[in-house]
A = this chain, B = another copy of it.
Amino acid sequence: MTSSQEARAVVLEAFGEPVSTRGLPVPDPGPGAIVATVELAGVCGTDVHLQAGRLPIPLPVVLGHEGVGRVAAIGAGVTDDSLGAPLTAGDLITWGSSISCGDCVYCRDLQEPTLCERRRIYGINRRADEWPYLGGAWAEAIYLHPGSMVVRLESDTPPEAVIALGCAGPTAVHGLLGVAPVAVGETVVVQGAGPVGLATAMYAQLAGAARVVLVGGPASRLERARALGVGDVHLDLDAQGPAERLDAVRSLTGGRGGDLVVEATGVPAAVAEGLDLCRPGGRYLVLGQYTDHGPTPLNPHLVTRKQLRVLGSWAFSQADYAAYLRTVPQLAARFDLPRLLERFPLSDAQGALDAARAGEVGKAVLVPDAA
């Protein structure tokens, strides 16, 4: 931080405009709260959508819902992290991006905290012009409210590995470990080679899938996946049409289709293809339809005839983030996660956003102290 009172932060002031960096006050942490300095902050496709004004959020906002940092100041009553490890200033930590209310029907009765309608989300719905100002990770410091999930990182969970998948990691955990678990020996087809697709394919491999078919594009993304050891079969969207892709999947599966197909594209048309790619009796995990593009042509007869289970998965909870962190060592042992990183200084946040939009980097991360 440039002073004990101020931290530089990347602020989205107006939709469609470049982000700007400015100084914001650093409050002392209240009871139960923590102020952390940020070491690495992820840039995610959602940030691109936020800047474009595709989601209804309050402005101005400090962006950044993915972060790793160090405890700078601890509020009264905080002695442990969320998993019970003792916490002191200087500890390396990460935090869950959202705080569910714990009290609504979804949180309490239905045990679906991701559906909580009062979720507070760092970097998304915290105003930068109201106390405590520092509500996102694209800053030198962040204010972590009571109720945040804060986890001290152990040596087997390096910051670079935690941030490499960004929120795609826990999103895949929620979908693949929670909503639609993979059984050992299954064939999993993943539609999409972006961060969510990659993370999903990695977890499918970890879960013992016999074969993971990664369908995506452009070729450079598939190439990156291959280099990391993600996916066993790679189908290039630009090189093959839907019929060829269907043939390819069927020829791998005795003519039947994938046991589990995962949609991780955000493109509505992918859903029609996904229903075709499932075997009779299979599951279709719709993990990526975050944006409302309205209706698209889909054939409901397939759901009845093939007796499919089409399963939606929205966001992730603090529990999913805990599960993600618990499994980062396993991911890191199998895949060279840090290789995905491309670092940008905080002052070039707009450059990082542009790179993320273009899909030309594995994972853009901001390094606040890199200036």
A residues whose Cβ falls under 8 Å from a Cβ of B: 82-84, 102-106, 108-112, 114-115, 149, 177, 179, 181, 183-185, 203, 206-208, 210, 254, 256, 263, 268, 271-272, 280-281, 286-314, 318-319, 322-323, 326-327, 329-330
Known contacts A105-B254, A208-B207, A298-B296: does B312 contact A308 (CB below 8 Å)? yes
* Closest beta carbon of chain B to A157's beta carbon, Å: 12
**CB nearest neighbor in B for A313:** B307
Tell me if A304 and B290 are in contact (CB < 8 A): yes
Known contacts A103-B82, A112-B281, A272-B295: does B210 contact A329 (CB below 8 Å)? yes
* Closest beta carbon of chain B to A231's beta carbon, Å: 16
Q: How far is the CA of A290 from the CA of B307 in the complex (A)?
A: 11
Tell me if A268 and B208 are in contact (CB < 8 A): no
* Closest beta carbon of chain B to A139's beta carbon, Å: 26
In the bound complex, residues from chain B placing their C-beta under 8 Å from that of A319 are 108-111
Tell me if A303 and B312 are in contact (CB < 8 A): yes
9 contacting pairs across A/B (C-beta < 8 A): A102-B102, A109-B323, A115-B307, A177-B183, A271-B300, A289-B301, A289-B303, A306-B314, A307-B312
In the bound complex, residues from chain B placing their C-beta under 8 Å from that of A288 are 304
* Closest beta carbon of chain B to A116's beta carbon, Å: 10
Given contacts A308-B312, A310-B312, 10 further A-B contacts (CB under 8 A): A84-B254, A110-B281, A112-B280, A206-B208, A207-B208, A210-B326, A290-B301, A295-B299, A296-B299, A298-B298
Tell me if A304 and B308 are in contact (CB < 8 A): no
Q: How far is the CA of A106 from the CA of B296 in the complex (A)?
A: 31
In the bound complex, residues from chain B placing their C-beta under 8 Å from that of A323 are 109, 185
In the bound complex, residues from chain B placing their C-beta under 8 Å from that of A300 are 263, 268, 271, 286, 289, 296, 298
Tell me if A292 and B312 are in contact (CB < 8 A): no
9 closest Cβ pairs, A-B complex: A295-B297, A310-B310, A303-B312, A289-B304, A185-B327, A292-B301, A298-B298, A271-B300, A206-B208
Tell me if B299 and A294 are in contact (CB < 8 A): yes
Q: How far is the CA of A303 from the CA of B165 in the complex (A)?
A: 24
In the bound complex, residues from chain B placing their C-beta under 8 Å from that of A306 are 115, 312, 314
In the bound complex, residues from chain B placing their C-beta under 8 Å from that of A329 are 210
Interface-centre pick from A149, A300, A302 (highest chain B CB count, 10 A): A300
Q: How far is the CA of A66 from the CA of B30 in the complex (A)?
A: 36
Tell me if A207 and B207 are in contact (CB < 8 A): yes
Q: How far is the CA of A322 from the CA of B108 in the complex (A)?
A: 9
* Closest beta carbon of chain B to A155's beta carbon, Å: 16
Q: How far is the CA of A311 from the CA of B302 in the complex (A)?
A: 11
Q: How far is the CA of A358 from the CA of B112 in the complex (A)?
A: 43
Q: How far is the CA of A286 from the CA of B254 in the complex (A)?
A: 27
Tell me if B299 and A297 are in contact (CB < 8 A): no
Q: How far is the CA of A296 from the CA of B272 in the complex (A)?
A: 11
Partner of A82, one of B108, B254, B298, B326: B108
Known contacts A181-B181, A299-B295, A305-B292: does B105 contact A256 (CB below 8 Å)? yes
Q: How far is the CA of A149 from the CA of B83 in the complex (A)?
A: 25
